[in-house]
Amino acid sequence: MSETLPPLTAEALEADLINEEFSAYLYIGSAADLGWKFAQTAFKLVPRLRIYLILDRVAVAKWAGNSNPAGIVFGWDDKVYRRFDKAEAENLQLVLDIIAEAMNT
């Protein structure tokens, strides 16, 4: 499943993150970014992964922390497993590896 925030709300995202049937990856940027393209590729390759295009960084400040991440990986709950900077989010192999690690914890 692929969603965009907005129009998805931060509250709806939070409810999705606590659904233990799925893992999640948030990409913070624009639909034209290479990092979003790779998020979509990961979605096609990894079962039980939900991806979210975050257009409003403020809406995910709770999970971004003090950093300015381009990507945020979650395991099976709403706890952040790893944050990516832009270069990391544009490295498909790294994105896939970290998502797999998060899903195995």
Q: Which own/partner pairs from 4-12 qualify as long-range (CB within 8 Å, at least 24 positions apart)?
A: 4/31, 4/52, 4/53, 4/54, 4/55, 5/52, 5/53, 5/54, 5/55, 5/56, 5/59, 5/60, 6/55, 6/56, 6/59, 8/52, 9/59, 10/59, 10/60, 10/62
> In this predicted model, what pLDDT tens digit does every residue of 17-71 receive, in sequence order?
999 999 999 999 999 999 999 999 999 999 999 999 999 999 999 999 888 999 9
In angstroms, rounded to a whole number, what is the distance separating the alpha carbons of residues 7 and 83?
23
Residue-level pLDDT at 74: 97
Q: Give the domains, in start order, of the chain with CATH numbers.
A: 2-103 (3.40.30.10)
What's the pTM? 0.95
